[in-house]
Structure formats: structure tokens, C-alpha cells
Structure 1
Amino acid sequence: MSSVSGSSATGLLSADVLQRIERLGGHIPDGFRPREWSVDTTAGEHEVPAAVQALLAVEWPAGQGLCTDDEFRWEVHLPSHGEVDALVVEDEPRAWYAIGYDEGQWYLLVDLAEAHTDDFPVYRVDHDGSDDAGSRRRLSSVLGDLRVVTDRIVFPSRIADGEAADEALVIDAEALVNTDPLTLLPLLDRATTEQDRLAATVYRSSLARHRDADAATRRQILALDAARLGAPDLSRNLADVPVPGAPAQDWTIEWATGAKLDHRLLAQLDVGGPQAITELQGRTVVATVDGWTLHVHDLATGESLVEAGLECDQEFAAIALAEIDGRWIAVTGSSCPGCDHHYRCEGRIQRWNLADGNPIADPVRAHARSVDALAVTRVDGRPVILSGGHDCMLRMWDLRTGEPIGTPSIGHRTSVGYGGIAAVAVGELDGRPIAVTGAWDGAARVWDLADGGTPGTILTANTDYQYEDAGIFHVSLGELDGVPVAVTSGDDDARAWDLRSGQQLGPVITDYCKCSDLVEVDGRPVVVTVDSDGWVRKWDLRTRRELGSGVNVFTADRRIVRALTAVRALGRVVAVVPDYRATAVVDLLAEAPGTSRVGHTNTIEALTVADSEVAVTGSEDGTARIWRLDDGTPVCPPLSDHWVRVKAVATARVGGRSAVLTSDGDTIRVWDRATGELSREIKAEGGHQMLTLSAAYLDGRAVAVTKGYDARVLTWDLEGAARAGHPPFTMRKEYSRSMATVELDGRYLALVEDDGAVRVLDLVAGEQLHTLDHEGGVLAIAVAGSRERVTAVTATYQDLQVWDVATGTRTGTLDAGWSVRALALADIDGRLVAASGGSDGTVRTWDLADGRPYGAALTFPEEVNRLALTGQGRLVVAFGSDLAVFSPRK
């Protein structure tokens, strides 16, 4: 049998479908081929499309089953093909065919007439024939909501049902690897010993990455995170856990940095966007509209409860949740995504059934251009929706019918070129229902809802409302020593206000704040803030003092923070912080970690290894670091005299000593590798801003080779601190960060990506030898070999290509998946080994002699930025702001 990705189903089923089948342990027989096949349906005889045949051919391991990934855990039989009738209420007969069913007596149907795509629609209908099959989901989404169950006990005896709640919980490595995450997660809070609390922290560190992965992948990620947290013994124990049906790991983690790992960061959900939080059937849940999909997650476990596509031709800017007549609904506000006719655009309010994502009635036009703020409350016992939009109006709607109540309320000033009302919070003031809005005009305003939205007190933070950073975008309500207060924030600061008098209470809480919320902790009001760099902090509202230290919720790069909600959940107080692609959950009560492991504080952008002894990294944090490869200790303090981020690093022998080269902007810096002392600076003239940096030797002298935004390739004498060699090479393409240098037959060559090709330049002769022609752009270059024969590997958008550098001929092609941004190549024990990694967080390795994998793929919690390989077989991986070193398992 073959894996799914290698079978003849490739091309019939999408990559997403194949990946999900493989994750669930399924495979398609090597001999599978679609055949001519027709079946009887309620619409007559109909052909079974090739994609459906491929799904029906999937075989599953003996002793394994599938179940729904929800509270019911219904056993799913898939595939289970057969003709069906009387299952769907329909006006016109359709070509229904059953591909599966579950123990909840729900059937999975496809309409054969529309199942010719590689990710065809699937309908879930009840057995009693009462459904009209109006809701459909893609096959990949259906498979993504299934979980594997096996004959093995996945719930360890130490954590067995019936165990006393107050009994100490023992968490061992096998439980962490092989237990179903939905079973284990709620129990981690019962950890009492220091060792078990550390295990719980390791488990939560990359939860979003391993929660839905197979046990073998989880084992590798957990071992990595244990190393990042400075727990080598736990890392080894995790790596050694047997996983049924999976071989032992091919790679051993030697060490890793984890400067930003923090046990207070409980989880990261892999969706972002506008959010709302509520209690739903005894669970605290967060609802997020990500793109055009509604997601509902359990905050305690990260479990996905609802994933439903929303049919809408506009973007979603706001969301609220409500329960009405025993039914949970989501209310969304949409906005114009941007066009040339804003005056004709309309922001709409739409109500959705939370259970299935189906719309409730038609959307209503609520505001001009956009609906940016929503809240749900009760006025005189009547459930209502409050909405604020670009037109600066506050409007009230009947939650049941969607009909408007009264006339729009006007009070905020229009800010030309910017938005209107950006935030709305609801509460009570002296027994009367109120709303407090924040807007781009720099003011917050109190509205009396009992009088239909009468404007009341105005709270003004900024008078210069013509500028974008003057607005108030977040409002929360609470109490301080019996005084009703509002806390507001925008792009500048967070402030507190007396709701009765409209006066500001005390000084600014913090002057660097993106979003804020107000929550009570141990009887005192606490303001929680997040800044644009992703740091969550908390402040005592009485004293304005910061409580504890901040937590950085987004470690890989700067994100666009959209909101912040502080809420009581999981038996603690948490902050829920979404950006555009993820949602972080932070424990606001836990104590800060004692010390952070050494490492970069921002994304690693450059990496090289020297003499199989040290690794050198450069980062967006403006520093370069030199690491001992054997144990990860720093050779010297960080190299920190850079003006901007360090984009490139290299090593060379300069003046008889080992040196490290770094570049930032227009300057090359030369550092002593042993001491970290700066020995010289070489400043480029003529606007040569450097993108790449490599080292070479011309006539026995060390030189640096750079490629700049000016499209020139230059060489620099590192001892004389001046230009060296021939006149510069000029490329066609200005922006290029792919370059490598190598010695071949006594000549030093530079391989430089340029406009879809790789130019092979002779640095000694000052001429171009030939080009390595590609179809599409070149994302990375790596070279290795002997002086007589040099091999290059280049990454394109489609694959890896292998080249003989001397002749310029292509000698092989490897399928590297997608999104490759990092390459490495090395001669290991006489065999050329290549490694690739990228934005999917996966590193793959190959033996170039036969094109087969050199070891199993490795999964990382963040994007892989750079890679290096040593002659001893060590694999060095830079992911996010961290570095990890692996060696082949012996």
C-alpha cells in the first residue's frame, strides 16, 4: 500500500482532502483506478465521479475507527456507499448517494451531479427524511472534523474515569503523547507538582499545532517544546514514547531556544478576526468570523464546536452572540471591502443559526458603508441588537424579527475620510439600560436606551479628531469604589471615566495601548491592555500600577491585533486576543516565569554554520548571535551594534582569525568569532543597500560578496575594507535575497537569483559562466560538494531542482510541497543531503543520491525561516524567533 499523497488519487482529490485522509490513517490502494460506474439515484441512473470513487476506495487500519469531534463522539462509518431515498425533502429529485453515516443516525450525502470537483460538497441529513439539505460543506471540512479512535486505551489509568477530583494528577510522557487532547486538556489544571505543571506548560505551548495532529507528530512537537522550555529530561522521555503504528523518531532534538515561551499563554486557536464570547451550554466559548466562516471554540480545550460557511458578499467587521427562545444565534455586521463607490455601499446586519450556520431571514441594511460595532442586550424585557457604523449613527433592532426600533440616534461627529462608531458596550446606570460608544471623532458617548437611544454624557479623550490615531475604538464598563466607570482605548492610550459626570478619573492608565478591557480580580477592578506588538499587560485601576509582567501573545512576527476580551473562564481570568490569523488565550492570574531562556526576541532572518562548531544567526531584533552547536551556549554576548535588523550573516577567516560577517542596511561589520569584538566596518557608497551577504576568497584574501537593492553584485576586501575584484555585476532584478558562493576548480563562484534564473558568476574572472533557467521565481539557493564537483539545489514555487553547477544542467527534481523559503545542502558521510522548510512549518530532508527522504519530516510551531546542515549530520532550524538543533537518531 502507498500513502495517500503518493497514490493515483493525486489529482482526483485536493491536497487538503488527501492530507486529512492521511491524518486519519487512511490510504488508497496502489492499484486504484477510476472505472466506468453508474448507480440508480432518485434522479435516475447517474455516473459516479472519479473523485467520489477515490474517496470510496479509502482503506482504514484494522482496529481503528473514526468518530465525530464533538461532545457526542458518534462513531462514523466512512466510506459507506449506497443508494438512498426518502432522506431529503426536495422539490426536484437529485442524484443523492451516501458516502457515510454516524451512530447519531445522520447520513453524509453527495449529489453526484455536482461531485466532479476535487473537494466536492457533502450534505449531512437526518435519517428521518425531514431535512431539505440546504447546508453543505466541502469534503475537506467534513474530514477535518473527524477524530481517530483505536482499540488501545487512549485514556490512561492514571487519569481514569472515577478518579477523585481532589486526587493529585500524575502526567507522564505517554499520556501527553497518546491521549486524546480533548480528554487530557480539561485535566491539566489539576496538576499539583512542579514536574506536572511543567508537563502541562509543554503541552499547551504549541497546542494549536499538535491538537489535531497524529500522535507521532505530537510526540515530536512536544519533545521540541520541552527542549525550548529547558527540560531536556522530559524532552528525551517524550521523544522515546512508543506510538502505535509509527516508527521511532528519526531525529533527536539536542537543544533549542524558547525565549518567548510562557506558561501563561494557555492556547492559540488557529482562527482570527472579530470575536464574541459567551457561556454556551455550560462552556465558555469564543465565536470568531474568520474570512466567511463562523468558528466557535471551547476556551477550555480549544475544541472546535461549530465551523460553518456564511453566505455573504461582504466582509465581516463585527459579531455578537445571543440566546433567544432556546436557540443560540450569531449576529454579524458586514462592511464594504473597498471600492470606488462608497456612497452606494451598505453595511448589513445578519442573524445566523449557530448550530448550522444557516441565515435567519434576509440581511438588513443597517448603516452606510459598514457595521463596525455590535452588542446584544435587553430593553424593557425585549431582546435587542445595538449597532454602530461608519455613518456615526447608533441604531436599535428587535433581535427576534430583525426589525428596526425607533429612529437612528445621532451624536458623534463625522470624521472626514475615516470611520464612525467603532465600539459599543452595554450596561446599566442608576437602574436604566445604557450604551457607551467610542468613535473616530475622539469621543465616547453615553446613550439612554430606555428613551430609545437619547444622547447623554460625552467623554472626550481627544479633540483633534481629524487624525486616525485620535479615535476611541474600545469601550468596557465596570465599577471603581462604587462609581460606574468606562475604560476607553484607541491607538494611543487607555483612560477611565466617571459615567455620571463625564470626567476623566485620574491620569492615563497607559500611553501605549491598542485595545483594552476591564475585569474584576479578587475584588478590585483591573484593566487589561494589549499593544500593537502583542504584549498583554494588566493594571490596577485604583493605583494605575502594572500588575506583574507582560505576556507576548504573538511570537513569530508583528501582527494586526484586532481586539481584546477579558473574561472569567476555565476557573481563572483569561484574556482572549485575536489578530488576523490566530487567537491567543492568556492566563491573567498565573505568576510570570522565573527566567527566560536566551534567544532572539524577534524573527530570525539569517543563519549559517561554521566548521561544524558554531551557528550564527541574525534577527529582526537588530542583533546577531554565535552559538556552540554541541550544547547551545552562546560563544559571546550578542553582536548588537547594528542600526536595523540583521538580514544576512556569513563566516570567513580574516587576518588569520575566524570572523563573523553581518550586514544591516549599507554596512558590513566584521566580528571576531571567539570574542564577539567588532574589528572593522565597511560602509557601501552610492546607495548600495545590502540584501544578501556571502564570503569568498580572491587571490588568497577574504572577500564579502553582496547583492543590493540597486541590482548590483559587489565584492569587498575584508582586510582592506574596500571594494575588491572586477567591476560590479548588474542584475536585471533589484529585489533578490537568494545567493550562495562556492569554490569550483580553484575558482570562486557566486550563484545569484535574478528574474526567474540563477546566474553563475565567476568572481575571479569577473564574468558570467551560464544560467540555471527556471520556470517561475527562485525562492532559495543552496550549494555543496567538492572542489571538482559542486551541486546546487534551488527552490521554486513548485519544487526543488538539483543542478550540476559546472555544466549548468539539471540533474533531478524533488517534490517539496509548497511555500519553501529555506534550503540547506551538505555532504554527510559522502552523501549529499538536502533540507527544505517554509511557511507551512515543516522541514523535509532528502538523500540526493536516490531522491528518497533522509528522515521523517519535522513539524514546527511557527514558520521555518532558515536552515543549515553540517557535515556531521546536524540539522539547524530557525523558526520564528527560535533556533533548534537536531541530529540523526542512532
Structure 2
Amino acid sequence: MLNTPVVLSASDDDTMCCWDTRTGSLRDVLAGHTSGVTSAALTRVGTRPVAVTVSKDRTVRTWDTTREEPPPAPDGHPRWVRSLALHRVAGRLCAVTTCRDDRVRVIDAGNGELVANFETARNLPLNTAVPITAGDTTLIAAGGIQGHLILWDVRPPAGSPVGTSLGTADVVALSVLPRDGGGVRVIAGSSDGSVMIWYPGGRHPLREFVTRRHRTGDIACLAVAETGGEHLVVTGDFDGYVRVRSLRTADLVHTRRYGAPVRALATGTRGTDPCMAVGTADGEIRVLRLADAAVLLALRGHTAAVRSLTFARLGGEDVLFSGSADGTVRGWDLRDGDQTHRIDLPDIVQTVAHQETSLAIGYGREVSVFTPVTAQPRESRSQ
């Protein structure tokens, strides 16, 4: 559409149509909004022509108008998106998703094409999946109901996956780390409060990292960070506890309790300090120094449970993105806690992920990918 005069028409049927003004023919139907489109406009981002639409679903979307045909639609999520990660797979930035069916979907983050579709042999619903680069390939670890853990190698031709079972409790949270000498280790948190370490394909047995006897509440989220040359495992539970343990020894480094269930965790940096972000069911977010759990920032603005957190680097500054059951995603400047971004979605936000210049959001059964812009310099912000 670079050299073709076109007209855009917005419709209450949730679509926008693009028409060739020379022939009057319909060139494209842009579908993706979940409610009526109220306005449409053409503009340029650099030299690239794009269409911008505004909808009753409370979103603004941009569309690539250089395509002669619309991109292929991915295999849809039949249930709410439960987990989401961004990762490069064979050179393509992809969204890796689960939605509590028996599949892991790998979707091109640029054009929505379904790149790969991995299914469990036992047809057990999956709650979470985490990709990791290992050597010259990408591995995807996933966990689901009845303690089911599975690991796929995405390099074609795909071989038989490696799997194990942790017991009867559901796997609800995962982290994956490379091992010295090759291979990976999978840290899995279960709904009964236990944490296990799995060495897929290796000779090491399952390691019981946190037993059910030492729990206070069911685990809701889990993250792993490195500080001072040591890996730390951070867990959050529905009784409001956040615990930080040494991955090597399982010794407790510190613990903190909140007045509401902990629903989201992320680890990253604020300046030079390794830190963690904790989101609770009352909508509060706290950023703490990882070494001693000192509170660095308290972030307020969400009006419902914080469901997901991810650290990002934008324009040389550290930013935290948060997704909430209030249907918003917010970006926070970690220098002082100012809110710098807000995206309103038409459904509960379950999960957010950031990689390179892309922010992926899972809400309802949908996944959308945005490119958040750098905030204005501090001195030019409006007061």
C-alpha cells in the first residue's frame, strides 16, 4: 500500500476496512478489536505507513499497511492465557504461551504466525512454560496438573520430549537455568507449597528443595536471580509470604510477609542493585533489594490484584511493567516510582513479558505485542 491511495472505514462490527480509491475495491479487512471501531487514521512511523484504530474495547492498535494480504491468524487460545514469555526461536522473536490446555504455542511476535505447537503425550493441561537457549537450540520446559513436567527441544525434527512427574500437586510456576557442562535444571513450584529441582535427561535424581512440611501456603509464583555469584530462589505464596533461599544449599536468606496474597514476582536490577518486585492481591507493588529485602519503592495505582511483573530497560533507564486484574498494564520508572506508561485492555491481564523492544501482554484469550516508547526526559515532563 506504499504507493496506492487508500481510504479507511471504521465499523461497529469490530473491524476496519481498507479501500483502493482508484478502483473502489476492498484491499484488506483489519480484524482484532473485541468491540466496535470508532475511529481510524493513516500515519507514518519513520518511513513506514501504518493505520491507527481506536475502539470501544478501550484499546488503540496500529496496523502494518504495507501487506498485500493480512497475516495468517494463529491457532487461537481456547482458554485464558496463563503464561507468556518472549524468546528468540530460530532467529525470530516469539511469544511462548500456555492456556491450561495440553499445548505450548510458539507464535511469531511480529506477524502472529503460529511457528510451533507442542502437545503433551498424556493430554494433561499445562499451567506454565519457560523457554531457554541451550547451545544452538531452544528448549521449552512446561508444567501442569498432577505434577507433570516436560521438556521439548524445538529444533526440527522434534524428537520425543523428556518428562517426569513431581507427584499429585499441580506445577504452577517454573524457572530454568543452564548447567555447567551442558543441560539445564528446572526449578518447579507446586500448588502444595513444595519446590523441586529437575535435571532432565541427566543422572541426577529429583531434588526436594522445599518440602510440604516447611510451607505456610500454596505457591503462587517463583523467580530465580543471581547476586554475588550465587543463585537465589524467590517464592511467593497465597499466605502473603515471600521467601528467598540459596539455590545451592536451600538455606533461607530472608523472608517477608505481606497483608495480602502474593500473586506476582520478578527479579531484575535497579541501577546496580539486584532487586525483586512483589505484586499482591490488593494491587500493591513493592520493589526490594534482593540482598536484604529492604524496600526501595512502593508503587500504587492498580485497583485489583497484580498478576504479572517484568523488568525492562528503555532508553537506558530501568522500568518495571505490571499487569493487573483491573485490565491495565502500567510502566514504572524505577528511579523514583513514577508511572510512565499505561495500557488499557478489555479483559483481566494475566501475564506480561518484555524482550528487546517488545512488550507482550496476555489478557483473556488474546496476546498483543506493543513497542513501548521511551518516556520523555525528566525535565520536559508535564507536571
Q: TM-score range by the shorter chain?
A: 0.7 to 0.9
Picking from 291, 295, 299, the partner of 1:814 is 299
Gaps of 5+ in 1: 1-169, 177-183, 212-217, 224-231, 242-248, 256-594
Aligned to 2:354: 869
CA 1:739/1:878 → structure 2, altered by over 3 Å: closer, same or farther? Answer: same
Aligned to 2:333: 847
Deviations 1:196-233 (CA, angstroms, capped at 9, x unpaired): 9947x767x413xx87xxxxxx77xx99xxxxxxxx97
CA 1:656/1:888 → structure 2, altered by over 3 Å: closer, same or farther? Answer: closer
CA 1:783/1:816 → structure 2, altered by over 3 Å: closer, same or farther? Answer: farther
CA 1:687/1:776 → structure 2, altered by over 3 Å: closer, same or farther? Answer: same
Task: State whether structure 2 residue 117 is matched by structure 1 residue 634.
Answer: no
Task: State whether structure 2 residue 193 is matched by structure 1 residue 711.
Answer: yes
CA 1:692/1:888 → structure 2, altered by over 3 Å: closer, same or farther? Answer: closer
Deviations 1:375-408 (CA, angstroms, capped at 9, x unpaired): xxxxxxxxxxxxxxxxxxxxxxxxxxxxxxxxxx
Q: Which amino acid letter does the alignment assign opposite residue 885 of structure 1?
A: V
Aligned pairs for 1:261-410 within 5 A: none
CA 1:828/1:699 → structure 2, altered by over 3 Å: closer, same or farther? Answer: same
CA distance in 1, matches of 2:25, 2:75: 22
Q: Which amino acid letter does the alignment assign opposite residue 693 of structure 1?
A: L
Task: Compute the displacement of 1:194 (Å).
Answer: 6.5
Task: Compute the displacement of 1:810 (Å).
Answer: 0.8
Aligned to 2:141: 661
Flag the structure with higher helix content. 1
Other structure's SS at 2:125 match: coil
Task: State whether structure 2 residue 160 is matched by structure 1 residue 683.
Answer: no
Deviations 1:631-675 (CA, angstroms, capped at 9, x unpaired): 433332444545232201112345764211111222211111333
Task: State whether structure 2 residue 79 is matched by structure 1 residue 602.
Answer: yes
Q: Which amino acid letter does the alignment assign opposite residue 658 of structure 1?
A: T
Flag the structure with higher strand content. 2
CA distance in 1, matches of 2:219, 2:26: 48
Q: Which amino acid letter does the alignment assign opposite residue 354 of structure 2?
A: L
CA distance in 2, matches of 1:614, 1:656: 17
CA distance in 2, matches of 1:771, 1:741: 15
The answer to whether the 8 Å contact 1:801/1:812 transfers is yes
Task: Compute the displacement of 1:877 (Å).
Answer: 0.6
CA 1:685/1:878 → structure 2, altered by over 3 Å: closer, same or farther? Answer: closer
Query: How much is the aligned-residue C-alpha RMSD, in angstroms?
Result: 3.9
Aligned to 2:241: 757
The answer to whether the 8 Å contact 1:698/1:748 transfers is no
The answer to whether the 8 Å contact 1:648/1:693 transfers is yes
CA distance in 2, matches of 1:869, 1:606: 13
The answer to whether the 8 Å contact 1:657/1:672 transfers is yes
Deviations 1:458-504 (CA, angstroms, capped at 9, x unpaired): xxxxxxxxxxxxxxxxxxxxxxxxxxxxxxxxxxxxxxxxxxxxxxx
CA distance in 2, matches of 1:889, 1:862: 23
Aligned to 2:218: 735
Q: Which amino acid letter does the alignment assign opposite residue 100 of structure 2?
A: E
Q: Which amino acid letter does the alignment assign opposite residue 843 of structure 1?
A: V
CA 1:854/1:642 → structure 2, altered by over 3 Å: closer, same or farther? Answer: farther
Aligned to 1:613: 93
Task: Compute the displacement of 1:770 (Å).
Answer: 0.4
Other structure's SS at 2:263 match: strand
Q: Which has the higher contact order (CA 8 A, sep 6+)?
A: 2
CA distance in 2, matches of 1:685, 1:197: 49
Deviations 1:849-881 (CA, angstroms, capped at 9, x unpaired): 1222333x11222221110012x2311111122
Aligned pairs for 1:100-499 within 5 A: 172=8, 176=10, 195=26, 198=29, 205-207=34-36, 236-238=50-52, 253=62
CA distance in 1, matches of 2:257, 2:137: 38
Aligned to 1:692: 173
The answer to whether the 8 Å contact 2:223/2:266 transfers is yes
Task: State whether structure 2 residue 366 is matched by structure 1 residue 882.
Answer: yes
Q: Which amino acid letter does the alignment assign opposite residue 763 of structure 1?
A: L
CA 1:743/1:202 → structure 2, altered by over 3 Å: closer, same or farther? Answer: closer
Other structure's SS at 1:613 match: strand
CA distance in 2, matches of 1:800, 1:790: 17
Picking from 117, 120, 128, the partner of 1:648 is 128
Deviations 1:133-162 (CA, angstroms, capped at 9, x unpaired): xxxxxxxxxxxxxxxxxxxxxxxxxxxxxx
The answer to whether the 8 Å contact 1:654/1:719 transfers is no
The answer to whether the 8 Å contact 2:131/2:141 transfers is yes
Task: Compute the displacement of 1:840 (Å).
Answer: 2.6
The answer to whether the 8 Å contact 1:635/1:675 transfers is no
Other structure's SS at 1:238 match: strand
CA distance in 2, matches of 1:780, 1:706: 15
The answer to whether the 8 Å contact 1:844/1:858 transfers is yes
Alignment length (residue pairs): 341
Gaps of 5+ in 2: 1-5, 43-47, 65-71, 375-383
The answer to whether the 8 Å contact 1:651/1:658 transfers is yes
The answer to whether the 8 Å contact 1:649/1:663 transfers is yes
Q: Which amino acid letter does the alignment assign opposite residue 768 of structure 1?
A: L
Aligned to 1:93: none
Q: Which amino acid letter does the alignment assign opposite residue 202 of structure 2?
A: G
The answer to whether the 8 Å contact 1:838/1:865 transfers is yes
The answer to whether the 8 Å contact 2:51/2:62 transfers is no
Task: Compute the displacement of 1:725 (Å).
Answer: 4.7
Other structure's SS at 2:52 match: helix
Aligned to 2:344: 859
Aligned to 1:838: 324
The answer to whether the 8 Å contact 2:195/2:211 transfers is yes
Deviations 1:479-538 (CA, angstroms, capped at 9, x unpaired): xxxxxxxxxxxxxxxxxxxxxxxxxxxxxxxxxxxxxxxxxxxxxxxxxxxxxxxxxxxx
Task: State whether structure 2 residue 258 is matched by structure 1 residue 774.
Answer: yes
CA 1:716/1:194 → structure 2, altered by over 3 Å: closer, same or farther? Answer: farther
Q: TM-score, normalised by structure 2?
A: 0.75
Q: Which amino acid letter does the alignment assign opposite residue 624 of structure 1?
A: V
Other structure's SS at 2:205 match: strand
Q: Which amino acid letter does the alignment assign opposite residue 292 of structure 2?
A: T
Q: Which amino acid letter does the alignment assign opposite residue 258 of structure 2?
A: H
Deviations 1:609-639 (CA, angstroms, capped at 9, x unpaired): 2359332111123211123334433332444
Q: Which has the larger radius of gyration?
A: 1
Task: Compute the displacement of 1:751 (Å).
Answer: 0.9
Q: TM-score, normalised by structure 1?
A: 0.35
Task: Compute the displacement of 1:808 (Å).
Answer: 1.1
The answer to whether the 8 Å contact 1:652/1:659 transfers is yes
Deviations 1:567-619 (CA, angstroms, capped at 9, x unpaired): xxxxxxxxxxxxxxxxxxxxxxxxxxxx8543323221111123593321111
Task: Compute the displacement of 1:805 (Å).
Answer: 0.7
CA distance in 2, matches of 1:858, 1:690: 30
Other structure's SS at 2:192 match: coil
Q: Which amino acid letter does the alignment assign opposite residue 633 of structure 1?
A: E
CA distance in 2, matches of 1:621, 1:785: 34
Aligned to 2:268: 784
* Identity in percent: 22
CA 1:825/1:723 → structure 2, altered by over 3 Å: closer, same or farther? Answer: farther
CA 1:809/1:683 → structure 2, altered by over 3 Å: closer, same or farther? Answer: same
Q: Which amino acid letter does the alignment assign opposite residue 645 of structure 1?
A: P
The answer to whether the 8 Å contact 2:194/2:211 transfers is yes
